[in-house]
């Protein structure tokens, strides 16, 4: 079990007040808070080492390059990548998804081809595929959601055809909180020779994730949701698929030789990192990973499961409250979307904010999913390693009162 009080001391923002009340931050699925070590790593870089990477011979640029490549090795180790060259730094998960759509899928998806996706996707992992499909004359086919609110792998065999070029699904839903059966999905895909892209924006920060063990082809996540800075994300691509990818952006760093009429490209991963990268943010992400590693991802997961169980148990006793996603905590991460009869999610969010409790209200960038559920918005809480049982109780107590009073 983890020492939450000791962990909280590492996060300076958690001691501030909001609206005169102690901050209770329950919006980590949107973005996480940052420990001192991440904030200090970013500022130390600018104070002491700031140079560009892979350009020039002076001490600062050599040092910066070393730090940046160390950060890549840290990320690779964290997700079990076979080689640091499989790690491509991007701005965020959204950019990483676009890189797969532009650099790989545009070369491999043609007229009449099919991409299997789901209604549970964040817009960042839906709209790029809609655009690609339209442009190429390809079709999106939708994997169903089962009784337990997870994606239904049983449907996959019947959805896959000789025209299926990619399966792209969310590992953990940012709205339902479900942990999808991606091992089963990947097994079926592999049996049929179809590559799999995993949107891991909500899984890598909260669960142990190992790409070698998963056996997928592409995986994307964002630094800011896992204690790291905003502006850094990761696309992991297996070596074999990387060879099939064209550069996304071109220019400095991505290039080998340039003539008047054309260019040849650098090797991976540099080929996919054109322009000056967000070095300080990559170092901040590596510091965040070291922090998480020290606590242990199994412990992070166990703590969030305990918080989720407590929240669901209290929420299920509140009259007029309905939550979405499965009841079994083993099937869900620390994300709970819910509605209270007669109270708009935004109204509830503002009420909680007035008590210092930060939650999210809206469609969570999953409009097709909410439409399928017959709703247009929800309130959402999401937990992380720094949240406590007392905070959960404080939040559920306020919701209970709001439900009783109709606010």
Ligand X SMILES: Cc1ncc(COP(=O)(O)O)c(C=O)c1O
Beta-bridge partners for 263? 258
Q: Does 174 bind ligand X (CB under 6 A)?
A: yes
Q: Does 180 bind ligand X (CB under 6 A)?
A: no
Q: Which of 81, 93, 286, 343 binds ligand X (CB under 6 A)?
A: 93
Q: Are 23 and 354 in contact (CB under 8 A)?
A: no
Burial of 127 (0-12, 13-18, 19+ CB in 10 A): middle
Would you state the structure tokens that stand for residue 302, as one six-digit string? Answer: 């166990």
Q: Which of 133, 194, 201, 307 binds ligand X (CB under 6 A)?
A: 201
Minimum Å gap between C-beta 324 and ligand X is: 15
- Closest to ligand X by CB, 170 vs 287, is 170
Interface characters, 290-329, with ligand X (x: CB under 6 A): ----------------------------------------
In 15-92, alpha helices (H): 36-44, 59-78
Minimum Å gap between C-beta 148 and ligand X is: 19
The footprint of ligand X on residues 105-124 (CB under 6 A) is: 122, 124
Q: Does 92 bind ligand X (CB under 6 A)?
A: yes
- Closest to ligand X by CB, 51 vs 228, is 228
Closest CA to 243 of 220, 262, 219, 268: 268
Minimum Å gap between C-beta 54 and ligand X is: 25
DSSP string, 213-241: HH--SEEEEEGGGGTS-TT-EEEEE-HHH
Q: What single DSSP character describes residue 179?
A: B
Q: Does 170 bind ligand X (CB under 6 A)?
A: yes
Q: Does 378 bind ligand X (CB under 6 A)?
A: no
Window contacting ligand X (CB under 6 A); options: 45-53, 54-62, 196-204, 394-402: 196-204
- Closest to ligand X by CB, 199 vs 304, is 199
- Closest to ligand X by CB, 30 vs 322, is 30
- CA–CA dist 167, 95 (Å, integer): 18
Cβ neighbours, 10 Å, residue 59: 10
Beta-bridge partners for 139? 114
Burial of 314 (0-12, 13-18, 19+ CB in 10 A): middle
- CA–CA dist 364, 77 (Å, integer): 31
Determine which one of 10, 50, 216, 365 is catalytic: 365
Minimum Å gap between C-beta 206 and ligand X is: 11
Q: Which of 113, 114, 149, 199 binds ligand X (CB under 6 A)?
A: 199
Residue 50 designated active-site: no
How many angstroms separate the Cα of 218 from the Cα of each of 104, 105, 236? 10, 12, 6
Residue 4, SS3 per DSSP: helix
- Closest to ligand X by CB, 64 vs 202, is 202
- Closest to ligand X by CB, 118 vs 174, is 174
Which residue reads 């703590």 in tokens? 303
Window contacting ligand X (CB under 6 A); options: 161-169, 186-194, 199-207, 343-351: 199-207
- CA angle 73/75/76 to nearest 5° reads 60
The footprint of ligand X on residues 214-233 (CB under 6 A) is: 222
Residues near ligand X, by CB under 6 A: 92-94, 122, 124-125, 170, 174, 199, 201-202, 222
Task: Just list the catalytic residues.
Answer: 365
């Amino acid at each position: 079990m983890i020492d939450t009080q000791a962990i909280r001391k590492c996060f300076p923002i958690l001691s501030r007040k909001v609206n005169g009340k102690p901050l209770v931050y329950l919006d980590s699925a949107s973005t996480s808070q940052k420990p001192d070590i991440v904030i200090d790593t970013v500022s130390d870089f600018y104070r002491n080492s700031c140079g560009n990477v892979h350009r020039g011979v002076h001490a600062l640029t050599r040092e910066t390059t070393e730090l940046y490549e160390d950060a890549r090795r840290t990320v690779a180790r964290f997700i079990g990548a076979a080689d640091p060259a499989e790690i491509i730094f991007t701005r965020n998960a959204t950019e990483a998804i676009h890189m797969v759509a532009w650099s790989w899928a545009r070369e491999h998806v043609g007229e009449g081809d099919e991409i299997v996706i789901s209604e549970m996707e964040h817009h960042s992992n839906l709209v790029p595929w809609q655009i690609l499909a339209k442009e190429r004359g390809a079709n999106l086919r939708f994997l169903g959601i089962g009784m337990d609110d997870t994606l239904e792998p049983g449907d996959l065999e019947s959805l896959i055809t000789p025209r299926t070029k990619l399966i792209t699904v969310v590992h953990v839903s940012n709205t339902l909180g479900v942990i999808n059966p991606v091992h089963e999905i990947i097994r079926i895909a592999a049996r049929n020779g179809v590559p799999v892209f995993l949107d891991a924006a909500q899984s890598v920060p909260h669960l142990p994730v190992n790409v070698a063990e998963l056996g997928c082809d592409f995986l994307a996540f964002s630094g800011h949701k896992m204690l790291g800075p905003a502006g850094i994300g990761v696309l992991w691509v297996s070596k074999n698929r990387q060879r099939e990818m064209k550069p996304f952006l071109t220019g400095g760093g991505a290039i080998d030789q340039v003539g008047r009429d054309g260019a040849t490209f650098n090797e991976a991963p540099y080929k996919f990192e054109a322009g000056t990268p967000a070095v300080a943010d990559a170092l901040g992400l590596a510091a965040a990973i070291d922090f998480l590693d020290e606590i242990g991802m199994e412990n992070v997961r166990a703590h969030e499961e305990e918080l989720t169980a407590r929240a669901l148990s209290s929420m299920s006793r509140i009259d007029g409250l309905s939550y979405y996603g499965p009841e079994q905590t083993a099937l869900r991460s620390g994300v709970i979307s819910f509605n209270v009869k007669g109270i708009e999610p935004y109204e509830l969010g503002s009420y909680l904010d007035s008590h210092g409790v930060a939650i999210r209200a809206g469609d969570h960038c999953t409009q097709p999913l909410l439409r399928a559920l017959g709703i247009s918005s929800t309130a959402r809480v999401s937990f992380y390693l720094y949240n406590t049982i007392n905070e959960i109780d404080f939040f559920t107590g306020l919701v209970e009162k709001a439900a009783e009073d109709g606010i």
